[in-house]
């Protein structure tokens, strides 16, 4: 049915979005930890 395909498409979009979101969180976390290391050195 069309509702099933639409549901699958939405899930796929969500999966791709969350995958990119996790990459952003990981990158953001690394960026946040960099100043902490600099502060520790100072």
Q: How many domains does the chain contain in total?
A: 1
- Residue 2 structural domain: 1-42
Tell me which residue has tokens 């796929």: 12
Residue 40: the pLDDT is: 74
Token pair listed for 36: 């902490």
Residue 37: the pLDDT is: 67
Residues 13-17: contacts with CB under 8 Å, at least 24 apart: none
pLDDT < 50 regions, the chain: none
Residue 28: the pLDDT is: 82
Residue 42: the pLDDT is: 64
pTM of the shown model: 0.46
Residue 38: the pLDDT is: 72
């Amino acid at each position: 049915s069309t509702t099933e395909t639409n549901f699958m498409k939405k899930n796929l979009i969500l999966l791709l979005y969350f995958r990119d979101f996790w990459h952003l969180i990981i990158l953001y976390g690394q960026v946040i930890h960099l100043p902490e290391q600099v502060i520790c050195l100072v």
